[in-house]
Structure 1
Amino acid sequence: MAGPREHGGTWKATMGERTSGTGDDEEWKARGVFLRVFVTHIFAGFVWLLFYVGEHAPK
């Protein structure tokens, strides 16, 4: 069985169907960037919260 690259298309992760490489690829890339930025900001907020709580802890 030939892979998707040999036929010039890509595979959709959710449906398992081939696309021609048009706007769907850009949509997945944009979604991935959004997810990466969102997760990074959540992690940064958690680290900030740890510093904030540590600074205000009774000593």
Structure 2
Amino acid sequence: MTTEATPHDPRPQAPVVVPTTNGSEKRKQRGVVTRVLVYVVVAHLLAAYLYFLFDIAAKH
């Protein structure tokens, strides 16, 4: 009984990266920037609300 051994390369092959030309990376980056800006604005509004809430409560 003979089995043919296949050569085995122990080094993993690097994946092939194909650049996209449809601008999807710029769209993703713009989405991240928009999301961060929204989070910053919402966080500041929440902080201002809490500040005024405690400020009004301290005066009473």
Instruction: State the TM-score, normalized to the length of structure 2.
Output: 0.60
Partner SS, residue 54 of structure 2: helix
TM-score of the pair, normalised by structure 1: 0.61
Distance 2:55 2:45 in 1: 15
Q: Name the structure 2 match of 1:38.
A: 40
Aligned pairs, number:
40
* 4+ long deviations beyond 4 Å: none
Q: Among 17, 24, 27, which residue is 1:25 paired with? A: 27
Unaligned stretches of 5+ residues in structure 1: 1-18
How far is 1:41 from its partner? 0.4
Where does the alignment leave 5 or more consecutive residues of structure 2 unmatched? 1-20
Task: Give the letter aligned to residue 38 of structure 2.
Answer: R
Q: Percent identity, aligned pairs only?
A: 10
Give the RMSD, CA atoms, in angstroms.
1.5
Higher strand content, 1 or 2: 1
Relative contact order (C-alpha < 8 Å, sep 6+): which is higher?
1
Q: What is the DSSP-based 3-state SS (H/G/I as helix, E as strand, rest coil) of the residue aligned with 1:29?
A: helix
Larger Rg: 2
